[in-house]
Structure 1
Amino acid sequence: MNLLRPLLLASNSPRRKELLAGLGLTFDVKVKEVEEDFPDHLLREDIATYLASHKADQYVEDIQNHILITADTIVCLGDKVLNKPADYTEAFSMLRSLSGTCHEVITGVCILTKENKTVFSDTTKVYFKTLTDQEIDYYITNYKPFDKAGAYGIQEWIGMIGIERIEGSYFNVVGLPVQELYQRLVELGYLIVD
């Protein structure tokens, strides 16, 4: 595979770094602190793309001949958006609300160059079994999911024992819809498979 420009990932997420590297791409990481607030009037399906685009806007002056990738993942239970939990109590409450239900994970992605800005999102439905309080406590105590939207990582213990099925991309739930990202990079002419 041949990237026609240097690639920058604007994310400190170890999961996103791992997924992008898994595509066989070479990239550098550049991270800035960016507020993750969004306007109240946004529909939930627009929040992730708004945040990914907003993050990318903070790097406009930094990109020369680069391709910049930003992403943001949100967890939605009905009309409620579950962000990263502040503490144990909030994480416990989130996981209890997800227990025995179906929720949606939406990841927004922005691909930015000096000439072009492409924003898209991917949605995956996730079905949790009914979790016991002991299972929730064990997971939070041992995995400390305070950096994860919805207070869980599908690739961790809670995903292994708690998720009955998904509809859509597994990697989207991890944090980056790599299949669609790959396709967009090819369609935009930034990536050539040779």
Structure 2
Amino acid sequence: MVWYYEGRNGWWRYDTRTASEIEAAFTQSLQSCEVCIAGHIYIVDFTQMCQARKDRPGRTRRIKRDSADLEAKGIAGLRLSLLEKAAQESVVCGSAPADIISGSVASCSDASAPDHNSSSGPMSCGASVSPDQLTTPLVNVNLEDDSENVSPDLDSIRDSAPSPTRLRRSSRTRARHRSDLRD
């Protein structure tokens, strides 16, 4: 069974991480659960079978749990046509199409592929990496170490601010120009 949400033009599948979180809450017979999607917290209500952003509870979107063979527009906001194109390109590269659809980055290990490690071209694909590995969980971020860098340097603020003398001169200059225009 797969979880879908309703978009403007059809049903879209949740990404694997979000779908597994929703499925876990559903199998535990919870009435609702919270998931983080694209940086926003959503509340999934299983009694109403809808999701709503926590900061905008009035705007809801229908959800459903259905078989995997249901025609969907895409996965997690990415159109299936784009995912299929990426999967076809990854087959040329040597990785399985399932790597693209499951959310991991494919690796290009073809020996005939050009070397992109030089400064003239783009960087080459590395080993297979999941998107979750590319981000740092907020739990691991320590803001206390950077507290010295956050406080402003008062001397640099004073130096960059316009001096009152400059302001007075510019207002006098404007007044002179205004009187010249009146004559």
Q: TM-score, normalising length from structure 2? A: 0.20
Rg larger in structure: 2
TM-score, normalised to structure 1, is 0.20
Higher-RCO chain (CA-CA 8 Å, sequence separation at least 6)? 1
